[in-house]
Amino acid sequence: MSTTTITPRNNFHRTVFLTGDKSISHRALMFAALKKQTTHISGLSEAADPMSTRSVLAQLGVAIRKKGEIWEVKGVGRKGFTVFNGVLDVGNSGTTIRLMSGILAAQPFVSELTGDASIRKRPMNRIIKPLTQMGASIESVNDGRAPIKIHGSPKIFGIDYLMEISSAQVKSCILLAGLYTKEKTIVREKVKTRDHTERMLNLTTYEKDGLFVTESSADHDFDLPDITVPGDPSSAAFWAVAGSILPDTYVRIENVLLNPTRIGFVEALKQMGADITITQTGECQKEPVGTLEVRSAQLKGIHLSGDIIPSLVDEIPILCIAAAYAEGETEIRGAEELRVKECDRIAAMVQGIKAMGGEAVDFPDGLKITGTGKLKGASIETFHDHRIAMSFAIAALRAEGETLIQNSECVKISYPAFWEILAGTP
Ligand code: S3P
């Protein structure tokens, strides 16, 4: 358990080269395991969450090792996993437990999955329901939460599923199970969520009756040439907000994944008056990649709700910090999913902003922040949530006095280099 003390700073000039995207890193490891071939992955995120996927796959018989800077995955094929006679531990990782459940639902053996205290509080009925409809049997002794026991069935069958919530993890879980169904498995979503699974597995998505429809099936084959993981835009968001709220600042962020389903935060910050230039420099892994240049700006409050929410869902905590330093009110609605992330992020942000002397109120599905333009140092309860810790660390750079970030080691979940880059000593 560590506490990190942050003192205010001006002239925050940084050039940051981002490390690999967390969502794509999980998928790179899993999809490589599903192919009967050796796949090389460069730029893989070595944060704790993707490393949980690595260890779960290793326990299921997939050989994964690092040679120099490159990760090598010896894929076993869709049906080549071996039974693990213990409990698979996903740590803090929602993506690991939900996506792996889709694969394990189709295996001819029983698997048990659990994770840390946060994972054991997060809802799993959202995957239990569709996987059960597909013919798997899943037990949860903890009221729809982990630990879960999956009685896989090689005979699972295709379903046509209308998503009740916007969740790329649930969508991906069903599409992965669909790779084992003779019939088509169809997922329909009202709002397009991050589409890395579709891009990497070469699944087609079309629009029908106002819905985004994606199909998979056992017949669907996909090529998986060696993978280069582009940089994580969710990590970029912290530096983009630092660059905006601190005076006399220039921040350049390189290797940013510019997938439109991920960079809603840039749009939101621009609406707030941020000075951000985006330059696409190329493509990586069928995804646009580029540079963000950010300069200080006086931000103003905005209203965020509706279809933009899934494209910035992980960035809401740091956008709340931008809002606290903006002029006027920012209201974020339709973001009830934040209540069931690594912690209740609505409650955590309201508590932390108030502790720093700011004004924030919560609603069941969001929050309202009245920008006061200033915050003061405080001791911040992070609830062991990486994004809460990093958000308040950025807030602390412009606060009056010292801020203590409790349990600051939790940043390792998505961004182990964060503290060094913040300190300017990478
Ligand atoms: C993710 C999807 C999102 C996101 C999470 C990663 C993914 O979760 O919050 O950090 O990699 O598919 P939901 O599917 O719960 O929205």
Q: Is 98 helix (H, G, I), strand (E, B) or coil?
A: helix
d(CA 49, CA 56): 11
List b or e across 274-304, with b for residues whose CB sees 16 or more CB atoms inside 10 angstroms.
Answer: bbbeeeeeeebbebbbbbbbbebbebebbeb
List b or e across 338-370, with b for residues whose CB sees 16 or more CB atoms inside 10 angstroms.
Answer: bbebbbbbbebbbbbbebbebebebeebbbbbb
Our answer on whether the CB atom of 311 is closer than 6 Å to any ligand 1 atom is no
Which residue carries 């109120």 as its tokens? Answer: 361
Pick the CATH number of 22-203 from 3.65.10.10, 1.20.1250.20, 3.30.10.20, 3.90.700.10: 3.65.10.10
Our answer on whether the CB atom of 111 is closer than 6 Å to any ligand 1 atom is no
- Pocket-testing residue among 166, 311, 313, 339, ligand 1, by greatest number of atoms within 8 A of Cβ: 313
pLDDT at 388: 99
φ, ψ dihedrals at 34, nearest 5°:
-75, -10
Our answer on whether the CB atom of 181 is closer than 6 Å to any ligand 1 atom is no
Whats the size of the chain, residue-wise?
426
Torsion angle, alpha carbons of 398, 234, 370, 343, to 10: -110
Our answer on whether the CB atom of 95 is closer than 6 Å to any ligand 1 atom is yes
Rounded mean pLDDT for each run of 10 residues along the chain, 426 residues in total? 93 94 98 98 98 98 98 98 97 98 98 98 98 97 95 96 98 98 98 98 97 98 97 98 96 98 98 98 92 98 98 98 98 98 98 98 98 96 98 98 98 98 83
Considering the domain 3-20+230-422 in this protein, what is its CATH number? Answer: 3.65.10.10
pLDDT at 5: 98
Residues of the chain with CATH 3.65.10.10: 3-20+230-422, 22-203
State which ligand 1 atom lies nearest to the alpha carbon of 166: 16
The CA 316 to ligand 1 mean position distance, Å, reads 13
pLDDT at 297: 98
The CA 279 to ligand 1 mean position distance, Å, reads 26
- Pocket-testing residue among 21, 22, 23, ligand 1, by greatest number of atoms within 8 A of Cβ: 23
Torsion angle, alpha carbons of 338, 341, 344, 347, to 10: -40
Our answer on whether the CB atom of 107 is closer than 6 Å to any ligand 1 atom is no
**Secondary structure letter of residue 231 according to DSSP:** B
The CA 105 to ligand 1 mean position distance, Å, reads 20
Our answer on whether the CB atom of 92 is closer than 6 Å to any ligand 1 atom is no
Can you read off the two tokens belonging to residue 321? 């910090």
Our answer on whether the CB atom of 27 is closer than 6 Å to any ligand 1 atom is no
- Pocket-testing residue among 191, 194, 232, 259, ligand 1, by greatest number of atoms within 8 A of Cβ: 194
What residues are annotated to the active site? 314
The CA 95 to ligand 1 mean position distance, Å, reads 6
The CA 400 to ligand 1 mean position distance, Å, reads 34
Closest by Cα among 300, 317, 198, 303 to 259: 198
Our answer on whether the CB atom of 89 is closer than 6 Å to any ligand 1 atom is no
CB atoms within 10 A of CB 221: 9
In SS3 terms, 337-357 reads as: HHHHCCCCHHHHHHHHHHHCC
Our answer on whether the CB atom of 314 is closer than 6 Å to any ligand 1 atom is yes
pLDDT at 11: 81
